[in-house]
Amino acid sequence: MLIHPHIDPIALELGPLKIHWYGLTYLVAFAGFYLLATLRARKAPYAQTGWNRQQIEDMLFFGVLGVVLGGRLGYVLFYKPMHFLSHPAEIFAVWQGGMSFHGGLLGVIGAMALYAWKTRRHFFEVADLVAPCVPVGLASGRIGNFINGELWGRLADPSLPWAMVFPAAGPDPRHPSQLYQFGMEGLLLFAFLWWYGRKPRPLGAVAAWFLIGYGTFRFIAEYFREPDDFLGLLALNMSMGQWLCVPMIGAGVLFLVLSRQGVWQRQADALASKQPAVSP
């Protein structure tokens, strides 16, 4: 049985300025996205359609806004709507914690749609470029959760070699679910999408597999993650995270079917015939 190592959440203090490890994981996520997206933009079919470093930087700006705004609003709406309805000023108190991946995903989808519209590209051309670059950022975020000793797992058998005591959660051993998510949503999903996205695929297929893969891995991980104490388990003994993954997986399957039928490609061809892609 292991004990969670107490790690100071503050990585660096410069006078009144305090830099937290969790904030640094966001920087690592955005930097990782930039590097990976730049690499993908040099490969077919993106190099042939005019993608360049400047466009990746512009898209990253849109994405950062989507992650922060969507993640916070998703937490407000999905997890504590009544609390924030009574305390609306706390919606802006992001330093107190409270971000939702599914809300961040919706924010990023909105940002990609806006970017696609501004550059006159098909949405799934943007989404297919972006999708394999996201899991590394998710992995970084889960390391931040582990450093903070938060979002711990459910109770575990003490004989489990990697069962861990999180002091803030009490004396009983638990699953280090942050590390499970690091491995599944981060490393495994990245490895699959990067491999799958190396070859030309039907338009929309890479993005569809991201939705299916993340939704499936997160659904599994939720069986080992302690539900939020203010929500507990919901209908069918499923957590909020699992319920949010159900439509995500369903949308991914639908998008994959439409992708293989060539629906998105026909739309993209029609769009390209009307107007050339331009920089925002």
pLDDT of residue 68: 87
Per-residue pLDDT of the chain (280 residues; tens, 9 = 90+): 799 998 998 999 888 888 889 889 989 999 999 999 999 999 988 988 889 999 999 999 999 999 988 988 888 888 888 888 888 888 877 656 678 888 889 999 999 999 999 999 999 999 999 999 999 999 999 999 999 999 999 999 999 999 999 999 999 999 999 999 999 999 999 999 999 999 999 999 999 999 999 999 999 999 999 998 888 999 999 999 999 999 999 999 999 999 999 999 999 999 888 765 444 4
C-alpha distances out from residue 52 to 39, 97, 124, 167, Å? 10, 35, 17, 48
| 173-174 and 164-165 strand pairing | antiparallel
Residue 171 forms part of a structural domain: yes
The confidence score (pLDDT) of residue 95 equals: 59
- Considering its fold, how many domains does the chain have in total? 1
Q: Which domain range does residue 182 map to?
A: 13-274
Binding-site residues, in ranges, read 142
Strand 164-165 relative to strand 2-3, pairing: parallel
168 assigned to some structural domain: yes
Distance CA 45, CA 277 (A): 14
Residues in Cβ contact with 7 at an 8 Å cutoff, skipping those fewer than 6 apart: 21, 147, 148, 149
pLDDT of residue 97: 66
Taking the whole predicted model, whether its pTM rises above 0.75 is answered as: yes
Decide if 47 is inside a domain. Answer: yes
